Chain A
Amino acid sequence: MTSILLNALQYLGYILIFPGFLFCFVCGMLLCGIDRKLVARMQKRVGPPILQPFYDFFKLCGKETIIPDAASRTTFLAAPLVGLAALVVIQLFVPIHGFSAFYGMADVIVILYLLLIPALASILGAAASGSPYAGIGLSREMVTIISCELPLVLILLAIAKTVGNALGTGLCFSLSAIADYQLVHGSLITKARMIPAAIAMLLVIPGETGNHPFDAAEAETEICEGMLAEYSGGPLAVFKLSHAVKMLTLTSLFVALFLGGVGTGITAVDGVVVFILCVIVTAVSISFVHAVTARLKIEQIFKYYWTVVSGLALVSLVLAWYGL
């Protein structure tokens, strides 16, 4: 009886503290703060303090929440919460150097689909607000999702094939098996044939999180933050938090897929190492790209992802397929 209770408590701890909520909240917000600081420095600005996202979050929470007359109230209010919860659950499935809170419950294809849920939550929330700006925003968000889907699929299939070849099964979708493979064979990024896929994944991350230059869906200057146009107060704070957590989720997914390897075995140390790797990935794929580019139009985003980025991923897939 006590063991069941302890088990339940342990899992609750996973969900609420590490690698669940508290971890997501703190690390996501820190990642966001570091990103803002880095972009500012690259653009020769002083930039906000690293803790600025925390201040923003708590300030927003204290503000009034306004629901427009045209909105469908329940969907409007529930969407941010569902999106955040779904993101945290994905984070639980991403292994941290061999440590995985929920072992063997979902594979990479499932993760691909679980990533749709937060996006879908924000889309439905935006649709429920009734704003025409949100209408344009959600349309662009959906096109961005379609754009990112093809390269992501190709990357994941390339990884599945590479790992499967080594395991002798031909293909492998399991995240934990991918982590185990990297324990033995070294990080996937060290394999020459996976480098194009890794570059493609680095380019997919800003698209998935909606960062510059792939932020046509938000585009403050044209469509007033699009999907967030009617959001205020607490719900807006949750959306901002979700954005930060999404950055953490995608960068840690990148770390799990490409930068895995031998951990120290101490979860806390591994957690810190993974976070540092996440910061580096963020710096490369989000901050640097943000600092040097201007916003793309939505049709350019689509074209870019389905030609350049997909092309890179396809190179890896073909190389993996023929075992080169």
Chain B
Amino acid sequence: MSMLNYHHFPIYSIMVLFFGAFLIAAIGGRDIAKNRKTTGVRAFIPLLATAASLAFLIALIKPVMLGGEVIAYWMGSRGISNGYAIGIALEVDALSLFFALLIATALFVSAVYSIKYMEHDDNIGQYYILYCMLGGGVLGLVLSGDIFNMFIMVEILTFAAVALTAFRTKVYGALEAAFKYLVVGCMGSTLILTGVIMLYAQYHTLNLAQLAALIPGTMNNATKLAFALLYIGFSTKAFIVPFHPLAADAHGAAPASISVLISGVLTKSGIYGIIRLTYFLFQTMELGAMQFMLVFVGSVSMFVCVTMALAQHDFKRLLAFHSISQIGYVLAAVGLSTALGISAGLYHAMNHTLFKGLLFLAAGAVLHETGTTDLGKLGGLSKKMPHTTVLFLIGAFSISGVPPFNGFASKWMIYQATYQKAVETGNIGFLLVTIIALITSVLTLASFVKVSQSVFFGQLPAEYENVKEVPFGMRLAMGILAVLCVITGLVPQLVTRYLTEPAARAVFRVGDYISSMGFASQTPAPAVSFAQVGVWEPISWLLILCIALLAVTIVAVAGKYDRVSVRSSETVDTKYQLFYGGEDNFHSQVGGGDLFWGFKHNWRHYFSFMHDLHSGIVNDYALWAVVALALSIVFVMIVL
């Protein structure tokens, strides 16, 4: 095969990142003297590597997404021998490619952002080495056709992520967060390894396709145990309940460019693992009990984490909880096991990467300029950072599901999918999921109203008088994501046709996945339908809104709406000051923690319960992991 045959592209996209990491190390990972020239080169290598990686994956859209091809790629000249897969293989179907595209996009944007954002940090070389390792690890995980390599990649990405979480060691809590992540992350990795070993002992193969061909129908207690171990292992990577407190700590301490990766990339790898495990390896998703498990965990994640987010008073911790809440949406939708549900879940996963990336970058911009992310201390930054404010608002509207941004398009599909499922099965539980999803959405809006009021609007504290807008490079990174947020919201039909529906269809074509690797498959692909009951035409709506807005503005301007009194600079006129009922003007910003008192008061028992539960002690969280494992083992043993 020629070097430029697209069958090589998956391995290229992984290799460039690892190669980039080695190249940076070769230049010198350690800053001995603060040499601006090599710093620039080091920032340029990851940029180039992630861009190349993204380009390789985009080139695969045509054959894999549109052509429906499953690329099976053997490393070296290995292959199938005596009916067993020997050697390392990559296998790329539309599902893998979909996740890989998300990951590569987030990696690229975050690399653009890092150039300026990390400029003043020490040891920038090490940062970029870990950055590339992390990226390569996650891409390797989603493109791998071999379960042991998935474990290897999980290890690489976990350790890179732990090190990057603590990269700014002087930040309060960074080492503690990294330690917690390390403990529970290692438990997760160990569970995955144990699960892999148990599967190998039973089936003498590590190839995903071959396992998928062998496991269904031959399940015994050992494979069931392996399922539970792998499931909990991937759950720790996705940070779904009960592993959500780790995400909050890690996001709070990590640099914003890494938070983007933890939320947009690492959680996706966990979700990907769960989909591969349930739909492909064990093919258990036809069981109502398995659907129940995923939908239940997803719903609990979305609701618990959104309420936890409402109680936060740190910008990045708040975003971290929202991240898990949105992953809850994804998991609940994917767990429905209907074509529309999976398509909606994947759509939301994509949107989550885009808008949550944007929001974390905005939080990073605020941190970069003011040095804090405490909602109680900030305020009024919109006058100093107008571009960041607009970009933040786009992200906030997207995550809150305000039409016509992308969050609405995917959440709206999720509501339909859950309600349809409820009607089809006659199970009122799925109806409850619809209601929880809708309420979670409005609570999300509430907490972003809180952020905009306490960071970007309201009164500007005196100490931030000299804050400036962030450098262009950082705004560019945010701008890319903001544009993507708007586009994917305006053309949902195109997104579903070219990205999510092929990926969702791949989930049902387990047979293709197995036979592409060269194994016999008995699983016929079922007919799937993506029909929706709702109607929503964002572009027409936007057009009408624009006409209406234009009309209002013309009338308003004609009616001297902007007859604004101009303040003369010399005189002090009290009418331009805020109204304080006759008192002197003073700083009286309503702190973020004090907003929504009316809501929190009614839920005070719930919040105090949650407060006690989230003790911040890593022993407790490790205990939760053990309990979750025990419960899932019992559950799996009963239902499978």
Name the contact of A302 in the complex, choosing from B540, B549, B590, B599 (C-beta under 8 A): B599
Can you pick out 16 interface pairs between chain A and chain B where the beta carbons lie within 8 Å of each other?
A: A72-B457, A74-B386, A81-B553, A86-B548, A104-B535, A127-B456, A127-B458, A132-B578, A135-B458, A135-B589, A143-B596, A146-B446, A157-B435, A299-B598, A302-B598, A302-B602
The residue in chain B whose Cβ has the minimal distance to the Cβ of A172 is B533
- Besides A110-B534, A321-B431, 4 more A-B contacts (Cβ < 8 Å) are A65-B561, A65-B564, A135-B595, A138-B453
- Complex interface bits, A33-68 against B, C-beta within 8 A gives 1, otherwise 0: 000000000000000000000000000010011111
Query: Considering the chains assembled together, what is the distance between the CA atoms of A105 and B599 in angstroms?
Result: 34
The answer to whether the Cβ of A18 comes within 8 Å of any Cβ in the partner chain is no
- Complex interface bits, A159-188 against B, C-beta within 8 A gives 1, otherwise 0: 011001000011111100000000000000
Whole-angstrom distance from the CB of B447 to the nearest CB of chain A?
Answer: 9
The residue in chain B whose Cβ has the minimal distance to the Cβ of A114 is B403
Whole-angstrom distance from the CB of A123 to the nearest CB of chain B?
Answer: 6
Query: Considering the chains assembled together, what is the distance between the CA atoms of A132 and B424 in angstroms?
Result: 50
The answer to whether the Cβ of A106 comes within 8 Å of any Cβ in the partner chain is yes
Whole-angstrom distance from the CB of B601 to the nearest CB of chain A?
Answer: 5
Structural contact, A233 and B577, CB atoms closer than 8 A: no
What A residues does B547 contact at CB under 8 A?
12, 15
Structural contact, A132 and B589, CB atoms closer than 8 A: yes
Select the stretch in A148-156, A197-205, A251-259, A277-285 that faces chain B: A148-156
The residue in chain B whose Cβ has the minimal distance to the Cβ of A314 is B435
B interface with A by C-beta (< 8 Å): 380, 382-383, 386, 389, 393, 397, 401-403, 408, 412, 415-416, 419-420, 423-424, 428, 431, 434-435, 438-439, 442-443, 445-446, 449, 452-453, 456-460, 533-537, 540-541, 544-545, 547-549, 551-553, 556, 559-565, 567, 575-579, 581, 588-590, 594-599, 601-602
Query: Considering the chains assembled together, what is the distance between the CA atoms of A114 and B383 in angstroms?
Result: 28
Name the contact of A299 in the complex, choosing from B420, B456, B533, B601 (C-beta under 8 A): B601
Question: Which 5 A-B residue pairs are closest in the complex by CB-CB distance?
Answer: A298-B598, A127-B457, A135-B590, A170-B423, A234-B561
Structural contact, B563 and A65, CB atoms closer than 8 A: yes
Structural contact, B442 and A145, CB atoms closer than 8 A: yes
Say whether, besides A89-B544, A234-B563, A116 and B402 are in contact (CB < 8 Å).
yes
Query: Considering the chains assembled together, what is the distance between the CA atoms of A197 and B456 in angstroms?
Result: 39
Query: Considering the chains assembled together, what is the distance between the CA atoms of A109 and B536 in angstroms?
Result: 9
The residue in chain A whose Cβ has the minimal distance to the Cβ of B442 is A149
Structural contact, B438 and A149, CB atoms closer than 8 A: yes
Number of A-B contacts (CB under 8 A): 236
What A residues does B403 contact at CB under 8 A?
110, 113-114, 117
What B residues does A16 contact at CB under 8 A?
551
What B residues does A160 contact at CB under 8 A?
419
What B residues does A142 contact at CB under 8 A?
445-446, 449, 595-596
Structural contact, A15 and B551, CB atoms closer than 8 A: yes
Whole-angstrom distance from the CB of B584 to the nearest CB of chain A?
Answer: 13
The answer to whether the Cβ of A128 comes within 8 Å of any Cβ in the partner chain is yes
Whole-angstrom distance from the CB of A265 to the nearest CB of chain B?
Answer: 24
The residue in chain B whose Cβ has the minimal distance to the Cβ of A58 is B559
Query: Considering the chains assembled together, what is the distance between the CA atoms of A173 and B416 in angstroms?
Result: 9
Residue from the set A102, A109, A234 with the largest chain B CB neighbour count within 10 Å: A109
Query: Considering the chains assembled together, what is the distance between the CA atoms of A149 and B441 in angstroms?
Result: 10
Whole-angstrom distance from the CB of A303 to the nearest CB of chain B?
Answer: 5
Structural contact, B577 and A106, CB atoms closer than 8 A: no
Structural contact, A135 and B541, CB atoms closer than 8 A: no
What A residues does B578 contact at CB under 8 A?
68-70, 129-132, 230
What B residues does A157 contact at CB under 8 A?
419, 431, 434-435
Say whether, besides A110-B403, A153-B435, A171-B533, A89 and B548 are in contact (CB < 8 Å).
yes
Residue from the set A66, A130, A224, A235 with the largest chain B CB neighbour count within 10 Å: A130
Structural contact, A146 and B599, CB atoms closer than 8 A: yes
Structural contact, B446 and A173, CB atoms closer than 8 A: no
Interface residues on A, range: 35 or more
Structural contact, B579 and A131, CB atoms closer than 8 A: yes
Name the contact of A85 in the complex, choosing from B453, B536, B549 (C-beta under 8 A): B549
Name the contact of B598 in the complex, choosing from A15, A70, A140, A172 (C-beta under 8 A): A140
Structural contact, A139 and B548, CB atoms closer than 8 A: no
Whole-angstrom distance from the CB of A54 to the nearest CB of chain B?
Answer: 14
Whole-angstrom distance from the CB of B372 to the nearest CB of chain A?
Answer: 20
The residue in chain A whose Cβ has the minimal distance to the Cβ of B437 is A153
Which of chain A's residues 188-223 have a Cβ closer than 8 Å to chain B?
Answer: 216
The answer to whether the Cβ of A27 comes within 8 Å of any Cβ in the partner chain is no
Q: A-side binding surface: helix, strand, loop or mixed?
A: helix
Structural contact, B535 and A106, CB atoms closer than 8 A: yes
Query: Considering the chains assembled together, what is the distance between the CA atoms of A161 and B443 in angstroms?
Result: 25
The answer to whether the Cβ of A92 comes within 8 Å of any Cβ in the partner chain is yes
Structural contact, A81 and B549, CB atoms closer than 8 A: yes
Residue from the set B561, B576, B577 with the largest chain A CB neighbour count within 10 Å: B561
The answer to whether the Cβ of A133 comes within 8 Å of any Cβ in the partner chain is yes
The answer to whether the Cβ of A82 comes within 8 Å of any Cβ in the partner chain is yes
Structural contact, B602 and A82, CB atoms closer than 8 A: no
The answer to whether the Cβ of A248 comes within 8 Å of any Cβ in the partner chain is no
Structural contact, B602 and A299, CB atoms closer than 8 A: yes
The answer to whether the Cβ of A32 comes within 8 Å of any Cβ in the partner chain is no
The residue in chain A whose Cβ has the minimal distance to the Cβ of B588 is A132
The answer to whether the Cβ of A19 comes within 8 Å of any Cβ in the partner chain is no
Structural contact, A130 and B452, CB atoms closer than 8 A: no
Structural contact, B402 and A84, CB atoms closer than 8 A: no
Structural contact, A224 and B439, CB atoms closer than 8 A: no
Structural contact, B576 and A69, CB atoms closer than 8 A: yes
Whole-angstrom distance from the CB of A5 to the nearest CB of chain B?
Answer: 15
Structural contact, A130 and B458, CB atoms closer than 8 A: yes
The answer to whether the Cβ of A267 comes within 8 Å of any Cβ in the partner chain is no
Name the contact of A75 in the complex, choosing from B457, B567, B595 (C-beta under 8 A): B457
Query: Considering the chains assembled together, what is the distance between the CA atoms of A293 and B347 in angstroms?
Result: 46
Query: Considering the chains assembled together, what is the distance between the CA atoms of A238 and B552 in angstroms?
Result: 10
Query: Considering the chains assembled together, what is the distance between the CA atoms of A317 and B438 in angstroms?
Result: 15
Name the contact of B602 in the complex, choosing from A64, A89, A306 (C-beta under 8 A): A306
Structural contact, A149 and B551, CB atoms closer than 8 A: no
The answer to whether the Cβ of A20 comes within 8 Å of any Cβ in the partner chain is yes
What A residues does B397 contact at CB under 8 A?
120
Structural contact, B552 and A81, CB atoms closer than 8 A: yes
Query: Considering the chains assembled together, what is the distance between the CA atoms of A157 and B428 in angstroms?
Result: 12
Say whether, besides A135-B590, A298-B597, A66 and B565 are in contact (CB < 8 Å).
yes
The residue in chain B whose Cβ has the minimal distance to the Cβ of A123 is B449
Whole-angstrom distance from the CB of A148 to the nearest CB of chain B?
Answer: 9
Name the contact of B439 in the complex, choosing from A77, A149, A172 (C-beta under 8 A): A149
Residue from the set B383, B415, B416, B535 with the largest chain A CB neighbour count within 10 Å: B535
Query: Considering the chains assembled together, what is the distance between the CA atoms of A306 and B435 in angstroms?
Result: 13
What A residues does B445 contact at CB under 8 A?
116, 120, 142, 145
Whole-angstrom distance from the CB of A195 to the nearest CB of chain B?
Answer: 21
What B residues does A154 contact at CB under 8 A?
435
The answer to whether the Cβ of A136 comes within 8 Å of any Cβ in the partner chain is yes
The residue in chain B whose Cβ has the minimal distance to the Cβ of A81 is B552
Whole-angstrom distance from the CB of B542 to the nearest CB of chain A?
Answer: 10
Structural contact, A81 and B599, CB atoms closer than 8 A: no
Query: Considering the chains assembled together, what is the distance between the CA atoms of A72 and B388 in angstroms?
Result: 14
What B residues does A64 contact at CB under 8 A?
563, 565
Structural contact, B590 and A139, CB atoms closer than 8 A: yes
- Complex interface bits, A82-107 against B, C-beta within 8 A gives 1, otherwise 0: 10111011001000000000101111
Say whether, besides A109-B412, A136-B590, A85 and B535 are in contact (CB < 8 Å).
no
Structural contact, B598 and A68, CB atoms closer than 8 A: no
What B residues does A92 contact at CB under 8 A?
544
The answer to whether the Cβ of A229 comes within 8 Å of any Cβ in the partner chain is yes
What B residues does A275 contact at CB under 8 A?
none
Residue from the set A106, A113, A238 with the largest chain B CB neighbour count within 10 Å: A113
What B residues does A173 contact at CB under 8 A?
416, 533-535
Structural contact, B534 and A107, CB atoms closer than 8 A: yes
Query: Considering the chains assembled together, what is the distance between the CA atoms of A267 and B457 in angstroms?
Result: 45
The residue in chain A whose Cβ has the minimal distance to the Cβ of B310 is A146
Whole-angstrom distance from the CB of B402 to the nearest CB of chain A?
Answer: 6
Structural contact, B560 and A130, CB atoms closer than 8 A: no
What A residues does B563 contact at CB under 8 A?
64-65, 233-234
Query: Considering the chains assembled together, what is the distance between the CA atoms of A154 and B567 in angstroms?
Result: 50
Whole-angstrom distance from the CB of A193 to the nearest CB of chain B?
Answer: 16
